[in-house]
Structures are given as C-alpha cells and as structure tokens.
Amino acid sequence: MKKKATPKPVAESDFESLVVSIVQIHQQAQEFATKAVNVGLTLRNWFIGHRIVEFEQNGADRAAYGESLLDALSQRLAAHGLPRVTARELRRYRRLYQVYPQIWESVTPKSLEASGFTAMLPLANLLPSSIRESVTPESQMVESATPQLIHRLSFTHLSELIQLPDDTQRRFYEIECMRGNWSVRELRRQIDSLYYERSGLSKDKTKLSTLAHARAETLQPAQIIRDPYVFEFLGLRSQDVMGESDLEDALLDRLQEFLLEMGHGFCFEARQKRILIGDEYFFVDIVFYHRVLKCHVLVELKTAAFSHEYLGQLNTYVAYYKKHEMTPGDQPPIGILLCTRKNEALVEFALGDMSNQLFVSRYAVEMPKKPEMEQFLKQLGKELGDA
C-alpha cells in the first residue's frame, strides 16, 4: 500500500508579516492598475495621432479641410462626448505619433499578451497590415526602449518630451526619467534647469547625475491618478480625484454650506474648478459668483498655518479670473484664503484691483462678518485637531 502523502506544514506567520504582505499586495495591484491606465491613455492618443496623419496623407477629401482639419475634427469629436479633443490636443497627439512612430512595437499581440494587457489586443488590429507584418523575429530580438517608454512613462511625461527639438536630448531625458522614476513635475524641472546642457558641459557627468537624482521627486501612483489626462480618460470629475483627503472634502462641504447660509448673495458655481495656465492645470477649491457684488469669489481652504505661498497661489487664480472669466458689468474677482491650524484662525483676502476701502465697506454689508468667519474657522480647526 502506498503511504498517504503527509501534508506540508503551513509556514507560521506572525501578525506583522500578515500586515506587510497585504500592504505589498495592495501596492503591486495599485502599480499594475496605474500602469494599465497609462498604457491605455498613451495608446489611445497615439492611435488618434496615427489616424490624423494617415488622413492628412491619404484622405480622399483631405483637400476640402486643409488647415481647418483639426478644428473641424475637434468640433465633431466633442459632439460625440470625447474628452481632450481640442485642436491643441489633437495637434499634441499627432506630434506624439510623429516623434514616436515606433510605439507600434508595443502594441503587437505578442507584446500586449506578455505585458498582461490582453484587453488592448483589438487596438493592434487597427494598425495597417504593412506595419503588423513588419514585425519579424529579428526585430523582436533587437532591444528597444519603446516598450519601456509606454509602460514606464505616462502620456503627460511624453507630452513634455515631444516638445524637445533634438532626438539626443529627448533620449537623454527619457533614460534619466525612467532611471529615477521622476514625476512629471520633476521632469519639467530638470528640463527647465538645463540638465542636459549642464551634463554636456560637466567634466564629472556621473557626479552631476548622482546629485540630480538625489534631489529628484519620484512618481507616486496617486500622482498618476490625479493627472488631468487620466481622470478625463476615465470619465471622472475634478472633485472625484483632487480632494486631499476625506477630512478636507468634509471641511469644504461645511465651508460651502456656511457661506451659502451666512453670506448674502453667494451663488455656488464650482468645486475644484480646473483652470489652465500655460501648460499646467490648477484647481480652485470653491468658486462662487456674488450677485450683489457682481464678481466671482474664489475660496481656498488650507488645513495648515498661513503661508505666503498660499496667498501667491490665490492671487494667481484671481488674476486668471480677471483676465479670462470677467464679463461686461462684472467687478474684479475676490479671493478668500482660509487657513486653519488647531484653534488658530487667519483670514486673508486677495483683493484684485478693488480698493481696500471699497472692499471693506462691501464686505461688511454683503459677506459674513470677520468674527463669524474666525469663529467658524476655529470650529474647523477643532475638528481638524480631533480627527
């Protein structure tokens, strides 16, 4: 008779190892999810660029559109509810395809299956047969940086890189960015600080690289999900992803309710209002329109002690609204910065171009009184301290 196999003893595990293993599971799953979103978004934009270029070269009625192609295309796509299809963005997608035409190497069935992105296999079939058939065993053996690019750099990273005019310069930042796992902000900072040029002039390039990476901001999964490209691609609203925490979101709810109740004339307009300044997006916590003062009121809530940086940030938003959002009959916008820290409260007002005297008189009549605001902030500070 055969002896029954003796079950192998289950390895003992203490509570701490259980915690560590679950944290690792979460982190790995989160990393895969963000990578999948990145790949999907980059492929979507690359294929859009590919189809635009293909139409410009071979479209039967391309001559009828000429220079207005992207404007006409933008309007039609927007009517279908597609996000991020302004003429400017379509131009960016076209540039992505032109700079990185070899991205097709990453969308072959074989490469997608190997990477675990089988849901994207139908995209590979959209490629012209001449491209699909050009993938040979020899070409698969050639080491290419493209698969690394598409899996390790987000579309927002690539948007920065495609603006660089020189191929060698672009490749330099690709390698450094992947090596250091840089955030988009860090990549932009390194480009602005002329890291490539400084590296070329440096006698000790290794030392310069070590210093650059030691101070660099690395990319975190939360930063990817908060990328405006990503949350529009996923169909999310700004406030779905931009809140710093459940606590901050709850405080903003309270603040919104307080101003609507205590401030006569406030009309709620938006939460986490996204504005584009240059090539960067910023978010205003709450935007009201005051029907008596005839102006926008921008409110920023900081769950920290007052800092001049916060006031500078709010002044930037006020200046933006003055230039881009004012309509005939409007008064210049007002910014309100609210800072809380335990039982301390500080209220600062960014006045735009309104005189102090005019603002104070209107404020006293039409807005919550400063003592009321301070008392409210103290209560928020207490909630913050107890949380």
pLDDT in tens, 148-201: 788 888 898 999 999 999 999 999 999 999 988 888 888 988 998 888 998 888
**258 lies in some domain:** yes
pLDDT in tens, 202-259: 888 888 888 888 877 776 655 555 566 666 666 655 555 444 455 566 667 777 777 7
Contact 233, 40 (CB under 8 A): yes
**230 lies in some domain:** no
Number of folded domains that form the chain: 2
Question: In the listed set 177, 199, 225, which residue is the last one of a domain according to the structure?
Answer: 225
**378 lies in some domain:** yes
pTM for the complete prediction?
0.60
191 and 93 within one domain: yes
**138 lies in some domain:** no
Q: Give the H/E segment covering residue 32.
A: helix 15-58
Residue 228 vs residues 88, 170, 274, 276, 286: alpha-carbon distances, Å: 15, 23, 9, 11, 18
Task: Indicate the range of 168-172, 312-316, 320-324 predicted with least confidence.
Answer: 312-316
Instruction: Quote the tokens at residue 37.
Output: 């979103």
* 99 pLDDT tier (thresholds 50, 70, 90): very high
109 and 184 within one domain: yes
- Rounded CA separation 43/123 (Å): 8
Scanning the structure block, which residue is given the tokens 């309710």? Answer: 257
Scanning the structure block, which residue is given the tokens 């948007």? Answer: 159
- Rounded CA separation 158/160 (Å): 5
CATH code where residue 379 lies: 3.40.1350
100 and 204 within one domain: yes
* 343 pLDDT tier (thresholds 50, 70, 90): very low
381 and 259 within one domain: yes
Question: In the listed set 225, 260, 276, which residue is the last one of a domain according to the structure?
Answer: 225
159 and 59 within one domain: yes
Question: What residue numbers bound the domain in which 201 lies?
Answer: 28-129+145-225
